[in-house]
Chains A and B, each alone.
Chain A
Protein backbone atom coordinates (compact mmCIF):
# COMPACT_ATOMS: atom_id res chain seq x y z
CA UNK A 1 0.00 0.00 0.00
CA UNK A 2 2.76 2.44 0.96
CA UNK A 3 4.63 1.66 -2.27
CA UNK A 4 1.52 2.42 -4.31
CA UNK A 5 0.91 5.75 -2.58
CA UNK A 6 4.60 6.58 -3.09
CA UNK A 7 4.29 5.74 -6.79
CA UNK A 8 1.28 8.02 -7.21
CA UNK A 9 2.91 10.88 -5.35
CA UNK A 10 6.14 10.63 -7.37
CA UNK A 11 4.28 10.26 -10.65
CA UNK A 12 2.07 13.28 -9.96
CA UNK A 13 4.99 15.49 -9.01
CA UNK A 14 6.98 14.24 -12.03
CA UNK A 15 4.17 15.15 -14.45
CA UNK A 16 3.58 18.51 -12.76
CA UNK A 17 7.30 19.29 -12.92
CA UNK A 18 7.39 18.35 -16.61
CA UNK A 19 4.48 20.69 -17.28
CA UNK A 20 6.22 23.37 -15.22
CA UNK A 21 9.30 22.99 -17.41
CA UNK A 22 7.14 23.21 -20.51
CA UNK A 23 5.19 26.28 -19.42
CA UNK A 24 7.57 28.46 -17.41
CA UNK A 25 8.89 31.57 -19.11
CA UNK A 26 12.35 31.82 -17.60
CA UNK A 27 14.92 29.19 -18.67
CA UNK A 28 16.28 29.10 -15.13
CA UNK A 29 12.94 28.04 -13.69
CA UNK A 30 12.57 25.53 -16.54
CA UNK A 31 15.88 24.00 -15.46
CA UNK A 32 14.81 23.91 -11.81
CA UNK A 33 11.52 22.20 -12.73
CA UNK A 34 13.47 19.63 -14.76
CA UNK A 35 15.70 18.95 -11.74
CA UNK A 36 12.59 18.26 -9.64
CA UNK A 37 11.37 15.92 -12.39
CA UNK A 38 14.72 14.07 -12.44
CA UNK A 39 14.60 13.57 -8.66
CA UNK A 40 11.07 12.14 -8.96
CA UNK A 41 12.23 9.72 -11.67
CA UNK A 42 15.12 8.67 -9.40
CA UNK A 43 12.53 7.96 -6.70
CA UNK A 44 10.56 5.87 -9.18
CA UNK A 45 13.72 3.87 -9.92
CA UNK A 46 13.96 3.21 -6.18
CA UNK A 47 10.37 1.91 -6.14
CA UNK A 48 11.46 -0.41 -8.98
CA UNK A 49 14.40 -1.72 -6.86
CA UNK A 50 16.97 -0.22 -9.23
CA UNK A 51 19.18 1.46 -6.62
CA UNK A 52 22.30 1.78 -8.75
CA UNK A 53 20.47 3.49 -11.62
CA UNK A 54 18.73 5.82 -9.15
CA UNK A 55 22.04 6.94 -7.67
CA UNK A 56 23.58 7.37 -11.12
CA UNK A 57 20.54 9.38 -12.18
CA UNK A 58 20.95 11.84 -9.31
CA UNK A 59 24.76 12.03 -9.65
CA UNK A 60 24.95 12.41 -13.42
CA UNK A 61 21.69 14.09 -14.38
CA UNK A 62 20.77 16.30 -11.44
CA UNK A 63 24.38 16.72 -10.38
CA UNK A 64 26.33 17.18 -13.61
CA UNK A 65 24.12 17.73 -16.64
CA UNK A 66 21.68 20.18 -15.04
CA UNK A 67 24.53 22.13 -13.46
CA UNK A 68 26.00 22.40 -16.96
CA UNK A 69 22.64 23.69 -18.24
CA UNK A 70 22.33 26.25 -15.45
CA UNK A 71 25.93 27.29 -16.02
CA UNK A 72 25.30 27.95 -19.72
CA UNK A 73 22.02 29.79 -19.01
CA UNK A 74 23.77 32.09 -16.57
CA UNK A 75 26.79 32.45 -18.87
CA UNK A 76 24.60 33.66 -21.71
CA UNK A 77 22.82 36.07 -19.33
CA UNK A 78 19.51 35.62 -21.13
CA UNK A 79 17.08 36.65 -18.49
CA UNK A 80 16.90 38.51 -15.25
CA UNK A 81 17.59 35.93 -12.58
CA UNK A 82 14.71 35.12 -10.27
CA UNK A 83 15.05 36.47 -6.77
CA UNK A 84 16.18 33.54 -4.63
CA UNK A 85 15.88 35.45 -1.38
CA UNK A 86 12.12 35.42 -1.08
CA UNK A 87 10.83 31.89 -1.52
CA UNK A 88 7.08 32.18 -1.48
CA UNK A 89 6.24 29.59 1.14
CA UNK A 90 2.54 30.01 0.42
CA UNK A 91 3.03 28.84 -3.15
CA UNK A 92 5.34 25.98 -2.11
CA UNK A 93 2.72 24.85 0.40
CA UNK A 94 -0.04 25.20 -2.19
CA UNK A 95 1.91 23.17 -4.78
CA UNK A 96 2.63 20.39 -2.29
CA UNK A 97 -0.96 20.27 -1.07
CA UNK A 98 -2.38 20.32 -4.61
CA UNK A 99 -0.09 17.53 -5.80
CA UNK A 100 -0.95 15.48 -2.71
CA UNK A 101 -4.68 15.84 -3.35
CA UNK A 102 -4.23 14.96 -7.04
CA UNK A 103 -2.19 11.87 -6.15
CA UNK A 104 -4.84 10.84 -3.62
CA UNK A 105 -7.60 11.21 -6.22
CA UNK A 106 -5.66 9.17 -8.80
CA UNK A 107 -4.97 6.52 -6.18
CA UNK A 108 -8.69 6.35 -5.31
CA UNK A 109 -9.70 6.09 -8.97
CA UNK A 110 -7.08 3.42 -9.70
CA UNK A 111 -8.01 1.34 -6.66
CA UNK A 112 -11.70 1.51 -7.56
CA UNK A 113 -10.85 0.35 -11.10
CA UNK A 114 -8.63 -2.41 -9.63
CA UNK A 115 -5.58 -1.44 -11.72
CA UNK A 116 -3.16 -0.46 -8.95
CA UNK A 117 0.56 -0.81 -9.74
CA UNK A 118 2.25 -3.45 -7.63
CA UNK A 119 5.78 -3.15 -6.45
CA UNK A 120 7.91 -5.16 -8.85
CA UNK A 121 9.94 -7.21 -6.39
CA UNK A 122 9.79 -10.87 -7.30
CA UNK A 123 12.92 -11.79 -5.32
CA UNK A 124 15.17 -12.03 -8.36
CA UNK A 125 14.35 -8.43 -9.35
CA UNK A 126 15.80 -7.17 -6.07
CA UNK A 127 19.24 -8.58 -6.80
CA UNK A 128 19.20 -7.39 -10.43
CA UNK A 129 19.20 -3.70 -9.47
CA UNK A 130 22.13 -3.69 -7.07
CA UNK A 131 25.52 -2.27 -8.01
CA UNK A 132 27.18 -5.67 -7.46
CA UNK A 133 25.12 -7.60 -9.98
CA UNK A 134 25.16 -4.75 -12.53
CA UNK A 135 28.92 -4.38 -12.14
CA UNK A 136 29.47 -8.08 -12.72
CA UNK A 137 27.57 -7.95 -16.01
CA UNK A 138 29.03 -4.59 -17.00
CA UNK A 139 32.66 -5.61 -16.63
CA UNK A 140 32.36 -9.07 -18.19
CA UNK A 141 29.67 -9.31 -20.81
CA UNK A 142 29.49 -5.59 -21.68
CA UNK A 143 33.16 -4.66 -21.20
CA UNK A 144 33.63 -3.69 -24.85
CA UNK A 145 30.65 -1.23 -24.97
CA UNK A 146 31.94 0.27 -21.71
CA UNK A 147 35.30 1.03 -23.33
CA UNK A 148 33.57 2.48 -26.38
CA UNK A 149 31.45 4.73 -24.13
CA UNK A 150 34.65 5.94 -22.50
CA UNK A 151 36.10 6.89 -25.88
CA UNK A 152 32.81 8.56 -26.83
CA UNK A 153 32.84 10.70 -23.68
CA UNK A 154 36.45 11.70 -24.34
CA UNK A 155 35.59 12.64 -27.93
CA UNK A 156 32.55 14.62 -26.77
CA UNK A 157 34.62 16.52 -24.20
CA UNK A 158 37.30 17.43 -26.74
CA UNK A 159 34.63 18.32 -29.31
CA UNK A 160 32.76 20.55 -26.88
CA UNK A 161 35.94 22.42 -25.97
CA UNK A 162 36.88 22.83 -29.65
CA UNK A 163 33.41 24.07 -30.65
CA UNK A 164 33.00 26.49 -27.76
CA UNK A 165 36.55 27.84 -28.03
CA UNK A 166 36.86 31.46 -29.06
CA UNK A 167 38.27 31.48 -32.58
CA UNK A 168 41.52 33.44 -33.05
CA UNK A 169 40.69 36.39 -35.30
Chain B
Protein backbone atom coordinates (compact mmCIF):
# COMPACT_ATOMS: atom_id res chain seq x y z
CA UNK B 1 0.00 0.00 0.00
CA UNK B 2 1.17 3.50 -0.84
CA UNK B 3 2.22 6.08 1.72
CA UNK B 4 -0.76 8.06 2.99
CA UNK B 5 -0.31 11.64 4.07
CA UNK B 6 -4.00 12.03 4.79
CA UNK B 7 -3.86 11.28 8.50
CA UNK B 8 -1.14 13.82 9.12
CA UNK B 9 -3.04 16.44 7.13
CA UNK B 10 -6.29 15.64 8.94
CA UNK B 11 -4.60 15.86 12.32
CA UNK B 12 -3.04 19.22 11.53
CA UNK B 13 -6.37 20.52 10.20
CA UNK B 14 -8.01 19.49 13.48
CA UNK B 15 -5.30 21.21 15.53
CA UNK B 16 -5.63 24.33 13.38
CA UNK B 17 -9.39 24.40 14.01
CA UNK B 18 -8.80 24.07 17.76
CA UNK B 19 -6.46 27.08 17.50
CA UNK B 20 -9.04 29.10 15.56
CA UNK B 21 -11.70 28.29 18.17
CA UNK B 22 -9.31 29.41 20.90
CA UNK B 23 -8.73 32.75 19.16
CA UNK B 24 -12.45 33.26 18.61
CA UNK B 25 -13.88 32.18 21.95
CA UNK B 26 -11.29 32.83 24.64
CA UNK B 27 -11.11 36.25 26.29
CA UNK B 28 -7.70 36.01 27.91
CA UNK B 29 -5.08 37.59 25.62
CA UNK B 30 -2.37 35.17 26.72
CA UNK B 31 -4.51 32.14 25.83
CA UNK B 32 -5.26 33.76 22.46
CA UNK B 33 -1.52 34.07 21.80
CA UNK B 34 -1.10 30.42 22.79
CA UNK B 35 -3.83 29.48 20.30
CA UNK B 36 -1.91 31.32 17.58
CA UNK B 37 1.14 29.23 18.50
CA UNK B 38 -1.00 26.10 18.18
CA UNK B 39 -2.10 27.17 14.68
CA UNK B 40 1.54 27.76 13.68
CA UNK B 41 2.35 24.26 14.91
CA UNK B 42 -0.47 22.72 12.91
CA UNK B 43 0.87 24.37 9.75
CA UNK B 44 4.40 23.22 10.61
CA UNK B 45 3.16 19.65 10.87
CA UNK B 46 1.60 19.93 7.41
CA UNK B 47 4.84 21.33 5.99
CA UNK B 48 7.00 18.59 7.50
CA UNK B 49 4.63 15.82 6.37
CA UNK B 50 4.54 17.13 2.80
CA UNK B 51 8.30 17.78 2.71
CA UNK B 52 9.08 14.24 3.88
CA UNK B 53 6.58 12.83 1.43
CA UNK B 54 8.27 14.63 -1.46
CA UNK B 55 11.83 14.14 -0.17
CA UNK B 56 12.50 17.87 -0.41
CA UNK B 57 14.43 19.68 2.35
CA UNK B 58 12.97 23.10 1.43
CA UNK B 59 9.80 22.43 3.44
CA UNK B 60 11.80 21.72 6.60
CA UNK B 61 13.88 24.87 6.06
CA UNK B 62 10.60 26.78 5.91
CA UNK B 63 9.51 25.15 9.19
CA UNK B 64 12.79 26.28 10.74
CA UNK B 65 12.08 29.88 9.66
CA UNK B 66 8.48 29.66 10.88
CA UNK B 67 9.73 28.59 14.34
CA UNK B 68 12.12 31.57 14.40
CA UNK B 69 9.35 34.00 13.42
CA UNK B 70 7.05 32.43 16.04
CA UNK B 71 9.67 33.10 18.71
CA UNK B 72 9.93 36.74 17.62
CA UNK B 73 6.12 37.04 17.55
CA UNK B 74 5.77 35.57 21.05
CA UNK B 75 8.39 37.94 22.47
CA UNK B 76 6.84 41.07 20.95
CA UNK B 77 3.26 39.96 21.73
CA UNK B 78 4.03 39.26 25.37
CA UNK B 79 5.83 42.62 25.65
CA UNK B 80 2.71 44.33 24.29
CA UNK B 81 0.57 42.40 26.80
CA UNK B 82 2.81 43.55 29.65
CA UNK B 83 2.62 47.17 28.43
CA UNK B 84 -1.19 47.01 28.19
CA UNK B 85 -1.50 45.32 31.58
CA UNK B 86 0.58 48.08 33.13
CA UNK B 87 -1.90 50.70 31.90
CA UNK B 88 -5.26 48.92 32.08
CA UNK B 89 -4.68 46.17 34.70
CA UNK B 90 -6.52 43.63 32.57
CA UNK B 91 -5.84 40.95 29.96
CA UNK B 92 -9.48 40.64 28.91
CA UNK B 93 -9.79 41.40 25.19
CA UNK B 94 -13.32 42.75 25.59
CA UNK B 95 -11.95 45.48 27.85
CA UNK B 96 -8.93 46.36 25.71
CA UNK B 97 -10.72 48.66 23.25
CA UNK B 98 -8.18 51.44 22.73
CA UNK B 99 -8.61 51.46 18.93
CA UNK B 100 -12.30 50.62 18.85
CA UNK B 101 -13.71 54.03 18.03
Contact = CB atoms under 8 A, between A and B. Distances in A.
Interface string A38-59: 1001001100111011001100
A168 to B, nearest CB: 13
Given A37-B15, A72-B82, 11 more contacts: A19-B18, A30-B30, A34-B37, A68-B74, A110-B7, A114-B1, A115-B7, A117-B8, A125-B52, A138-B64, A156-B76
25 contacts: A11-B11, A15-B11, A15-B18, A18-B14, A18-B18, A19-B18, A22-B26, A48-B49, A48-B52, A50-B48, A53-B48, A56-B64, A57-B67, A76-B81, A116-B7, A117-B7, A118-B4, A134-B57, A134-B64, A142-B61, A149-B68, A152-B68, A153-B68, A156-B73, A164-B79
Contacts of B44: 41, 53, 57
A69 interface: yes
Nearest to A27: B30
A48 B48 contact: yes
B97 interface: no
B96 interface: no
Contacts, number: 186
Contacts of B5: 117, 120
A154 to B, nearest CB: 9
Contact of A53 (B18, B19, B64, B82): B64
A65 interface: yes
Interface string B51-83: 111011110110111011111111110111111
A21 interface: yes
Contacts of B74: 65, 68-69
Contacts of B93: none
Interface residues of B, number: 61
B22 A21 contact: yes
Given A69-B30, A157-B75, A53 B63 contact: yes
Nearest to A34: B34
Contacts of A87: none
Contacts of A64: 71
Contact of A31 (B6, B19, B26, B34): B34
**Looking at B5, B45, B52, B86, which has the most chain A CB atoms within 10 Å of its CB?**
B52
A149 B52 contact: no
B66 to A, nearest CB: 10
Interface string A147-163: 00100110111011101
Given A18-B38, A78-B91, A156 B64 contact: no
